[in-house]
Amino acid sequence: MEKKVFQCHKISEGVAEGEAVVSKDDIMFYLIDPKTGTVIEPGHDLEGKSIAKKILIFPSGKGSSVVQADGIYQLNTKGNAPKAMIIQHPETVLVSSAIIMEVPMVDKVDPAFYDVVKDGDIIRVDADHSVVEILSE
């Protein structure tokens, strides 16, 4: 399979490669266990799944700015933050957290990307060159 390359917009610089975890629900980072990176929010479509060291693809964040920033910070301190984040609707606190913690973050990805990406795909996020690649399915 030839790799699929999609244009995007850089929010936080960097390059990361890893396994995709795709959420259709907004994410409250405070409801992710920092020790494991596992989503503990009841009823969330990622409940019971880990986002640790994955490429996290999600619509947006939810909850207050304090719990969002603290949630990402706690994950980062335990080494369980996502390797990169692909977000559809960025918000200030997530953007600033990604920049401070040096987690590559992009948005405005070509809509075709969302039609083909799925859990387990190996994704390369190159925020510096504004591209997202699906390396394997």
| DSSP conformation letters of 25-46 | S-B-GGGEETTTTEE--TT-TT
Segment 67-71 mean pLDDT: 91
| Helix runs in the chain, H state only | 65-77, 92-100, 112-116
pLDDT tens per residue across span 9-30 = 999 999 999 999 999 999 999 9
Average pLDDT over residues 41-52: 98
Confidence of residue 2 (pLDDT cuts 50, 70, 90): low
Q: What is the pLDDT of residue 64?
A: 86
Contact status, residue 127 vs residue 10, Cβ threshold 8 Å:
yes
Instruction: Report if pTM > 0.85.
Output: yes
Instruction: Give the catalytic positions in this structure.
Output: 64
Please write the tens of the pLDDT for every residue from 91-117.
Answer: 999 999 999 999 999 999 999 999 999
Instruction: Give the whole-number percent of the chain exceeding pLDDT 70.
Output: 97
Query: What pLDDT is attached to residue 92?
Result: 92
CA angle, residues 64, 94, 11, in degrees to nearest 5: 155
